[in-house]
């Protein structure tokens, strides 16, 4: 061990930087301090100014996006209120065909309105919508020349004869086609209808996909109140094509992205409209930020939620990015927010290039000064290197003293005196202590001592059933391979649950939880580790059976108790292990598996600690050698409510 350490230390020393080189590097760092400070200060200040300007620009873009979205909804809400007042004054007006002219005027008053409709409690419904290429594809009966559509649905009084009567227009109000279909549509079940009825106020539904166009829409509902009674509502569907076009045309930088999202991360508006939707089981739904597969956007959302901050900065794909979130104001009534993600290089990239050129200039100046620096460094480093050689001789316990050249530098002169004193002291110490012990102390740098403390741990013992019989009939190499595979799967299962493997004793494994580092909830982790180990050994046996090899059934004992843990042994050989009555109990529990024909036996102390999380079967009160009291033994079968096949209880075990 000592020889290996010496070789390792020598190997590392050969690759350390010489003091002369270190002094040279320090001189280089000091030669042009003013230029370095000016470069750093200039870069930092310019970066701050540019980042401040970019932040102001980003904030302005965020506010503009919020204002644009508000301008899509607020005017429409005001128009709906006027139409609702008309319906309140004359509820039968919208049951007449002439009312579609008023709805048409509302529809064409704002290009973001995709549909306007009135619906009543008796089921009567009237709507006017735009017709585009997507809607024509959705219904082959829509005329190719149609640009507008109007329809009404009979009230529920029509019974089974209730129909939807549709009319199509190329130029309003000239009808070019009509047809009627039976329908069971009930507008009253729409979320914004129910909300308007419940609150008697403007209601805004969650965004959804218009099945006719494939684009996101948001539906608004305004109640119609007649004599303090809710009789129906005015509804509109608003598209965000305008908002998407605005986001696409108002990029804050060449590589930035601006989105409008809701609290769950769903995309309300994307600069590329098609990226705001995706198909699930053949049905279009709103996409989320995770669906974009954009690392910068995903990272910005993750940090925003974790830090609850509206401004985050991070690295993505090797570049530094900034993410800014702007929640819509509370009076907007919808918890949306604007997300802007942009690489900082879009703003400070040119500044970086300038600083790189200045840095190259500084390096050229340093290179011109290198010869002078090397000469000065050599004069300073020579006495230090002499002291270093003296120290290496002392470390090797070679006390052949050579007086190094005295240095004119005060600190180095004091160091030389200290080295001489240490050499004399160590030479004297070696006269009283065997040289091997001294060498070990010098190499390690600290004394070797025995130590121990009492801790509450969970102890694990396992062995293989009939191992002696099996081992007699196996060639040594095959036996070693099988036992090694067994140790590997057991150790892997235990260490995955934070266990400390104490030792391998023949075919047995001894492990514990809670030392040297504390393990939270270590009793439960021990149960999980034991179950995983037993499961994996069973799978290993199945593989051995397929390969025509003998099987080895594992037995496990598990107990928790206060035991002594620490370095034990003699002065020249230590082992980190545990001792105490709890260790004996765990070993005894492992042996009881043979009596009860079980795989994992646990003590009542383990059972009581995790009773609500495990599945176990009560076995018997047993006496433990060295104890007067008996303990109840349980068979550990599985983890309660677990779907993990390694932890779930097998039906035959539970039975």
Residues 82 and 213 in one domain: yes
What pLDDT, on a 0 to 100 scale, did the predictor assign at position 653?
47
Overall number of domains in the chain: 4
Answer yes or no: is 278 within a domain.
Answer: yes
Residues 423 and 467 in one domain: no
Which two structure tokens, joined as six digits, stand for 356? 């790189």
What pTM was estimated for this model as a whole?
0.46
Residues 214 and 111 in one domain: yes
Model confidence at 73: pLDDT above 60 = yes
Nearest to 344 by CA among 361, 327, 323: 323
Residues 607 and 581 in one domain: yes
What pLDDT, on a 0 to 100 scale, did the predictor assign at position 535?
94
What pLDDT, on a 0 to 100 scale, did the predictor assign at position 180?
92
Domain boundary among 207, 239, 271: 239
Answer yes or no: is 49 within a domain.
Answer: no
Residues 76 and 211 in one domain: yes
Answer yes or no: is 87 within a domain.
Answer: yes
Domain boundary among 343, 372, 393: 343
Residues 502 and 571 in one domain: yes
Residues 103 and 160 in one domain: yes
pLDDT in tens, 211-226: 666 677 888 899 999 8
What pLDDT, on a 0 to 100 scale, did the predictor assign at position 176?
94
Residues 226 and 254 in one domain: no
Residues 230 and 251 in one domain: no
Q: Residue 247 maps to which CATH number? A: 3.30.450.20
Report residue 376's pLDDT band, with 50, 70 and 90 as the boundaries. low
Answer yes or no: is 601 within a domain.
Answer: yes
Which two structure tokens, joined as six digits, stand for 631? 């303990």
Residues 373 and 306 in one domain: no
Q: Classify the phi-psi angles of 598: left when phi > 0, otherwise alpha if psi is within -120 to 50, otherwise beta.
A: beta
Answer yes or no: is 151 within a domain.
Answer: yes
Mean per-residue pLDDT for 380-397?
68
pLDDT in tens, 270-292: 888 777 777 777 677 778 888 88
Answer yes or no: is 46 within a domain.
Answer: no
Q: List the helix and strand counts (H, then E) for the chain.
A: 17, 24
- DSSP letters, 587-625, are HHHHHHHHHHT-SEEEEHHHHHHSTTTEEEEEEEEEE-T
Distance CA(316)–CA(341), nearest Å, equals 11
Average pLDDT, the chain: 80
- DSSP letters, 102-148, are HHHHHHHT-TTEEEEEEEETTS-EEEEEE--HHHHHH-TTS-TT--E
Residues 100 and 228 in one domain: yes
Residues 440 and 461 in one domain: no
Answer yes or no: is 353 within a domain.
Answer: no
Q: Which residue has the higher pLDDT, 495 or 276?
A: 495
Answer yes or no: is 58 within a domain.
Answer: no
The parent domain of residue 139 ranges over: 71-239
Beta bridge partners of 340: 258, 324
Domain boundary among 239, 256, 277: 239
pLDDT in tens, 121-173: 999 999 999 988 777 877 888 898 999 999 999 999 888 899 999 999 999 99
What pLDDT, on a 0 to 100 scale, did the predictor assign at position 377?
66
């Amino acid at each position: 061990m000592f020889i290996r350490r010496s070789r390792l230390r020598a190997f590392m020393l050969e690759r350390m930087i010489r003091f002369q080189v270190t002094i040279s590097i320090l001189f280089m760092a000091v030669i042009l301090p003013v230029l370095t400070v000016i470069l750093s200060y200039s870069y930092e200040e310019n970066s701050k100014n540019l980042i401040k300007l970019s932040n102001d620009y980003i904030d302005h873009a965020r506010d503009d996006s919020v204002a644009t979205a508000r301008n899509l909804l607020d005017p429409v809400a005001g128009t709906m209120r006027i139409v609702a007042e008309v319906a309140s004054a004359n509820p039968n007006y919208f049951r007449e065909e002439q009312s579609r002219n008023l709805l048409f005027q509302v529809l064409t008053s704002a290009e973001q309105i995709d549909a306007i409709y009135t619906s009543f409690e008796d089921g009567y419904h009237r709507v006017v919508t735009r017709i585009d290429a997507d809607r024509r594809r959705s219904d082959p009966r829509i005329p190719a020349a149609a640009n507008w559509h109007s329809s009404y649905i009979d009230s529920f009084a029509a019974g089974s004869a209730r129909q939807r009567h549709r009319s199509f227009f190329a130029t309003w109000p000239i009808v070019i086609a009509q047809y009627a279909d039976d329908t069971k549509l009930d507008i009253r079940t729409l979320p914004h209808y129910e909300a308007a009825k419940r609150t008697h106020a403007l209601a805004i539904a969650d965004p959804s996909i218009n099945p006719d166009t494939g684009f996101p829409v948001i539906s608004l509902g305004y109640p119609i109140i007649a004599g303090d009674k809710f009789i129906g509502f005015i509804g509109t569907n608003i598209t965000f094509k305008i908002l998407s076009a605005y986001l696409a045309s108002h990029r804050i930088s060449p590589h930035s992205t601006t989105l409008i999202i809701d609290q769950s991360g769903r995309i309300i508006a994307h600069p590329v409209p098609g990226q705001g939707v995706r198909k699930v089981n053949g049905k279009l739904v709103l996409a989320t930020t995770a669906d974009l597969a954009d690392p910068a956007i995903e990272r910005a959302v993750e940090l925003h939620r974790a830090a609850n901050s509206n401004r985050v900065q991070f690295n993505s794909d090797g570049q530094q990015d900034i993410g800014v979130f702007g929640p819509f104001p509370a009076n907007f009534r919808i918890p949306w927010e604007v997300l802007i993600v942009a690489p900082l290089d879009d703003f400070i990239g040119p500044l970086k290039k300038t600083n790189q050129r200045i840095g190259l200039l500084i390096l050229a100046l340093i290179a011109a000064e290198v010869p002078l620096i090397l000469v000065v460094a050599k004069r300073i480093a020579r006495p230090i290197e002499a002291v270093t050689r003296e120290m290496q001789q002392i470390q090797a316990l070679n006390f052949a003293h050579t007086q190094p050249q005295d240095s004119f530098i005060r600190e180095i002169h004091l160091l030389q005196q200290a080295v001489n004193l240490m050499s004399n002291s160590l030479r004297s110490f070696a006269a009283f202590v065997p040289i091997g012990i001294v060498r070990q102390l010098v190499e390690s740098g600290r004394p070797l001592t025995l130590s121990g403390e009492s801790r509450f741990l969970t102890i694990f013992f396992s062995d293989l059933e009939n191992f002696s019989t099996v081992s007699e009939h196996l060639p040594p190499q095959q036996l070693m391979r099988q036992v090694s595979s067994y140790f590997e799967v057991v150790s892997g299962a235990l260490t995955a649950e934070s266990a400390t493997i104490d030792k391998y004793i023949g075919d047995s494994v001894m492990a514990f939880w809670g030392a040297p580092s504390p393990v939270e909830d270590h009793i439960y982790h021990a149960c999980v580790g034991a179950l995983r180990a037993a499961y994996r050994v069973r799978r290993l046996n199945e593989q051995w059976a397929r390969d025509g090899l003998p099987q080895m059934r594992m037995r496990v004992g598990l107990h928790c108790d206060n035991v002594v843990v620490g370095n034990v042994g003699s002065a020249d050989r230590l082992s980190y292990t545990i001792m105490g009555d709890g260790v004996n109990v765990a070993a005894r529990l492992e042996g009881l598996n043979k009596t009860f024909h079980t795989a994992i036996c646990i003590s009542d102390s383990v059972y009581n600690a995790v009773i609500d999380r495990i599945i176990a079967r009560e076995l018997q009160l047993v006496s433990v050698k060295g104890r007067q009291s008996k303990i109840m033994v349980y068979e550990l079968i599985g983890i309660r409510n677990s779907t993990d096949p390694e932890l779930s209880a097998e039906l035959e075990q539970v039975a």
